[in-house]
Structure 1
């Protein structure tokens, strides 16, 4: 069986040849369809707006390319934003939420050419430029067309879904991108507006992952709510019409999702644009932007984060490389700002709450905490009286309370890069190993603290 990498290489060699042909809407590597059902055979798939036998021989997709199996799938991609006069109200999410989170209705406060628009707030993210929380959605949800301006206000729910401007406004357009890889927009969140790092009906966001063929996924969108599916194609190139002023755009390296027919007939529909695609463990793998029948197309989440200069806002155990931890950042910030004394047991409690620091934050913490010198109270041995135990515990707690010596910020080296000048950034494997070791140490620390706090029989 050919490897996925071999098939992707073949697809990249021939994709422009097929995309130049009339009626072709995309090309990817995914599961071959037979009789409308997906098989477990991986093929180079050419997407067409409509299957027909009336095609010149020279334009037909051969049964094989370089010895690799091909397939032709019928998919005509459309942006999945809702607008009036399209009436989606009966299916839509009209809730006015007090706490912003992923999976809820949103849209611009302005009208465009006499129409109003609705999409989905995908997830709460962190703007790396300011470290402030922000909202993630699609370019075509927040900007709609070429007439947008930075600062355009957004409303939750959308104006279509009973939203009211300016009362329901929650933020403004910070930046947006419509590139070869991403259809994305970042929305500020007004001061005082509550947020949650979760997706409605799915739960806490744990981090991000790369989408893989066969991966079981979910999404929560404004129109179709919670739906289930699986990744059936990767490395996709799709052509989508963005309408007046923008025209057709070709997006590359996209992810294809097919609906789980046993749970829902379609995975997404108009108004679901901007939803994040989440795996079965709470890790975001893509940003939904277009669809064709039961098939959905999404931007890979790593590309989205990079182009918009953001990181995912997470809560819960962190296991994925490169996923920033908001609790960890708050601990380091307190240390940097020298806001009071930090006890060792308080730091362990904070680290073990929901998250694990990445390697750079860990270096910051290690460099800013001076380990206590606890003099031996008594040589190891049996505890022969409750009074002696109380005395020993009091002495330990007194030493912990002294953990307040920090190196001032101006005296610390810049640890945003390597520990040494011109040191190379750690590899992904090294980062993963460090994170795994940190998780183990935190788990052991939590277990030790629990045992320490448990009264002796």
Structure 2
């Protein structure tokens, strides 16, 4: 078996060559792991952002099994970041950090999605995080970090409000400006005309109404592509969606409580949610998970416990539970996708 000194020398001799290979972001001394078991054999450990099947790699990017008769092992360490608070300013900004409409406190940047028609990248979070609970207007400034975390305009402006699903409050109070139905009707007519003329430009309603509340959701358009990091902290890049099931393990990455885990407890819930003061809104078809969030985590994407598959959009909670809307309904109402 090679000694640590021999492996250290091998590392120094091959450092530049190995670091040029695809996804390699670190090299050190470790134990050889086979089928998930530590063999105890000292080896040169090559750390990668993501393990890729050999068949998908170019010859120059393959990592040899041995060098100078010393074993090499590949360790999937992921993307490495310098630790910083989720309430700090992030550029580019990943999912899981502080964000908010200029007139609110702060919530969580959930994830980046694509407009189904234009392919445009947009930020997904809650209405009450980015649209000020119906009181915002399209084009309003979105800050990262949110105002409660020191975000100020114009220096921390990351996006502009693009569109949102309107919240219907009990007693008929909706907040915000009127004229939504007219806006919807006009946009539908304009979209039809655009389709007839072959135009790729699509007019989207400022506020989208549903028969009853199903989601608390909003979209914002980044000021430029350089501010975007498609990954969510500790979760990575979302690859699809998954329907919630009772007992399913889930996790989220949020501004306040960072990365937490929970279990799906109740499905298809009709539930009343308080929005401060006398405002209460009833939501249908909601998912209830365990205690995995606190104020400021609103807008977090909730994903499967082991795979980067979106399950729901977190928007409310209590001392014992977390409430999320089914992600497929969120995507459909906002006409976006991953």
Aligned residue for 2:152, secondary structure, equals coil
Matched, 1:132 2:158: no
SS in 2 for 1:302: helix
Cα distance in 2 for residues equivalent to 1:146 and 1:290: 16
Cα distance in 2 for residues equivalent to 1:195 and 1:272 = 20
TM-score by length of 1: 0.44
Cα offset for 1:117? 1.2
Provide the alpha-carbon RMSD of the alignment. 1.8
User: Shift of the alpha carbon at 1:205?
Assistant: 1.1
* TM-score normalised by L of structure 2: 0.59
Does residue 300 of structure 1 match 2:326?
yes
The count of aligned residue pairs is 209
Matches within 5 A, 1:90-239: 93-109=86-102, 111=103, 116-177=104-165, 178=167, 179=210, 180-239=213-272
Hey, what does 2:197 align to over in structure 1?
Answer: none
1:291 aligned residue = 317
Q: Distance in 2 between matches of 1:168 and 1:198?
A: 20
> Hey, what does 2:303 align to over in structure 1?
278
Mapped to 2, the partners of 1:128 and 1:106 lie a distance apart of: 24
Note the C-alpha offset of 1:99. Answer: 1.4
Tell me the secondary structure at the aligned position of residue 204 of structure 1.
coil
What 5-or-longer segments of structure 1 have no aligned partner?
1-91, 260-266, 313-457
Aligned to 1:34: none
2:54 corresponds in structure 1 to none
Task: Give the drift of 1:192.
Answer: 3.8
Instruction: Choose which of 275, 284, 294 in structure 2 pairs with 1:242.
Output: 275
Structure with the greater alpha carbon radius of gyration: 1
Q: Does 1:309 align with 2:335?
A: yes
Query: Aligned-pair distance for 1:143?
Result: 1.6
Residue 224 (structure 1) shift = 0.6
Moved over 3 A (4+): none
Instruction: Give 3-state SS (helix, strand or coil) of 1:252's partner.
Output: strand
Matched residue, 1:60: none
| Higher relative contact order structure (alpha carbons within 8 Å, sequence separation ≥ 6) | 2
